[in-house]
Structure 1
Amino acid sequence: MSSHPPPPLLPAPSPLDAAREFCNQRGYDLGDDLGSGAFKLVYNATIDGVPFALKVAPVYGSTERFERETDALLSCAHPSIATLREGLLFEMGPTKFWLVVEELLSGGTLEARLAAGLLTREEVRTIGAHLANALAHLQERRLVHRDVKPANILFRTDLTIPVLTDFGIVRVLDAPTITQAFAAQGPNTPAFAAPEQLNNEMPLIDGRTDQFGLGVVLVMSLLGRHPYMGEGEHIQHAIERVRARQPMPAQNIDLLTAQGFTSLIKALQPWPAQRYRKTSEFAEAIRTS
């Protein structure tokens, strides 16, 4: 009896395959690839003539973190927080993807904007106040973004109003943590992380953690370097200084004071108790000091 070779294995579906199939099923028009983030690919999709961002992330194991991101965004309603249409698990055979349909922010990122030059003091005050108000909105809902950075801050057509995006590592303070207690550090982008993140001090993480991250973003937008980085130093020096809770370089304190931003100095203190108790207080202080 003759034997036949097994049929060739078909390649696993790609994120683009998932995006195409999802749009076919929904009657959406799939557009261009808009780039990729740390864990997902982003496409332009048109729904009833309105453009949206379709984010596709492969799922390996639990969907809990994706579900938390979706629930967090759905609970928010703020002009400086991205608007979510839906988030769902999408399966193609044994391959799973998490799909998010979110508003399309066409004004680019703060990261791209800073590549063209630093912000003025007035721009820092305006953008900073909007973002601090968004973080206050999260604080009221017991949510901690944990990844406030220029790449996660986008703009609509109005370039004066920033929009916070990418809630992929959001912490829900009223739910059990997903982060392992024995991990050396919690989820973060090191250059924008607070000491309690770098040291995985989970009981200390709250809205003031995001306050620190925003403070780093605003100082980098104003001075062109990390607030804990001395002149001529590498970013790693700043990260280690933050981790060890060493003082901010005196030169940076002097520069921020001279430019009228003592509010940023307070928001960037090593211990959460030294920062603004409420992020709404920080938002008000950015406008004036």
Structure 2
Amino acid sequence: MHAPLTDLPAEFQRFQNLHFIASGGQKIVFRGTCPQHGAIVLKVFNPGTDMARFERELSAVQRIQCPLTPTILESGMTRQGGQPIPYVVESFIPGASIQQHLDAGSLQDPNVVRLATDILQVLTLTEQRGIVHRDIKPANLLLHADTGAIWLLDFGIARHLDRTALTVGPIGPCTAGFAPPEQFNALAAEVDVRSDLFALGVTLHTCIEGRNFYCEGARDHVEVFQRVQSVPLPRLTREPCGVAGFADLVMALTQIRRSHRPHSAAEARDWLAELLVQYQA
């Protein structure tokens, strides 16, 4: 379900060539252009969105200033039918999501190694800013069409405002099959960068094996959660590009107990960097 372009508030008439990309949860996403910014992505959130939370999360995203996350060009609130409607304008990043590449069978081993390198770099920066993404998965990662870099999308805002495919209620906001136990058990005080490292590890495992071990054959989310907190992720059957030790890194990232994972994104980043130095030697 999505709003026809003619139903959008007059505020958005300044954007040209708007066309629908996706909808779900609490937002509708359009792609378009504007004279000031060129190609843009317009995210229009539903009336009734918690504005205090929206502003708080938006501020967090703007603090990141990471070259591998979309730039927020502007944000604000307009009205339609007397109801406030928050919106965000982001830079448009050309490319397709890692999930789309997986579905098409077009993801290559060098892409997976680049994914690990780039996203660990992003997480190192965001950890310094005190921000946790909480929804790292193939659908939120984009392979840039021109540079081959991997971008992390929906940073910060996704964890509160976009509930698409997220469990809510007594279970913490998360995507089943990628989130670690401390996150879906709603242990907010224990959710930190190590939670993102777990999700990254599962994502890497999924990319290499071509399937999500936790989700495959599961009856429902409850069974997925039970698997995540009781069954260790199997060791990779192969290492991408023949990078020796990559499987060990993925195993470390996906440890059930967060104290057994790398203590920081920088530690995991440096571990991978050393593996790549040895591989290239």
Q: What does residue range 143-162 of structure 1 map to in structure 2 within 5 Å?
A: 143-158=131-146, 160-162=148-150
1:271 to 250, 257, 267: 257
Offset at residue 285 of structure 1 (A): 2.5
Number of paired residues?
259
Offset at residue 279 of structure 1 (A): 0.6
1:128 to 103, 112, 116: 116
1:246 to 230, 234, 246: 230
Query: Which letter maps to 1:28?
Result: F
Offset at residue 269 of structure 1 (A): 0.6
1:53 partner SS:
strand
Aligned to 2:247: 261
**1:234 partnered with 2:221:** no
Runs of at least 5 residues in structure 2 that lack an aligned partner in the other structure:
161-168, 277-281
1:117 to 88, 105, 112: 105
**1:38 partnered with 2:25:** yes
| Distance in 1 between residues matched to 2:270 and 2:256, nearest whole Å | 21
Q: Which moved more, 1:160-169 or 1:59-68?
A: 59-68
Change (3 A) 1:127 1:57: same
Cα contact 1:70–1:86 (8 A) shared by 2 = no
Aligned to 1:47: 34
Identity of aligned residues (%): 26
2:142 partner SS:
strand
2:186 partner SS:
coil
**1:189 partnered with 2:175:** yes
Offset at residue 224 of structure 1 (A): 1.6
Offset at residue 79 of structure 1 (A): 1.9
Change (3 A) 1:216 1:94: same
Offset at residue 272 of structure 1 (A): 1.5
Offset at residue 17 of structure 1 (A): 5.2
Alpha-carbon displacement from aligned partner over 1:196-254 (angstroms, at most 9, x marks no partner): 1111111111111111111111110111222446xx74375443211xx22315xx226
CA RMSD of aligned residues (A): 2.7
Query: Which letter maps to 1:196?
Result: E
> TM-score, normalized by length of structure 1?
0.80
| Distance in 2 between residues matched to 1:39 and 1:15, nearest whole Å | 16
Cα contact 1:139–1:207 (8 A) shared by 2 = yes
| Distance in 1 between residues matched to 2:61 and 2:264, nearest whole Å | 21
| Distance in 2 between residues matched to 1:23 and 1:257, nearest whole Å | 48
1:189 partner SS:
coil
1:43 partner SS:
strand
Cα contact 1:73–1:82 (8 A) shared by 2 = no
Query: Which letter maps to 1:44?
Result: R
Query: Which letter maps to 1:286?
Result: L
| Distance in 2 between residues matched to 1:51 and 1:19, nearest whole Å | 19
2:20 partner SS:
strand
Q: What does residue range 36-115 of structure 1 map to in structure 2 within 5 Å?
A: 36-48=23-35, 50-60=38-48, 62-115=50-103
> TM-score, normalized by length of structure 2?
0.82
Aligned to 1:280: 266
Runs of at least 5 residues in structure 1 that lack an aligned partner in the other structure:
1-13, 172-182
Aligned to 1:8: none
Q: Which moved more, 1:194-203 or 1:42-51?
A: 42-51
Aligned to 1:201: 187
Aligned to 2:208: 222
| Distance in 1 between residues matched to 2:253 and 2:192, nearest whole Å | 13
Offset at residue 256 of structure 1 (A): 5.6
| Distance in 2 between residues matched to 1:30 and 1:118, nearest whole Å | 29
| Distance in 2 between residues matched to 1:281 and 1:255, nearest whole Å | 24
Please say which structure displays the higher CA radius of gyration. 1
Change (3 A) 1:162 1:19: farther
Cα contact 2:209–2:236 (8 A) shared by 1 = no
Change (3 A) 1:141 1:96: same
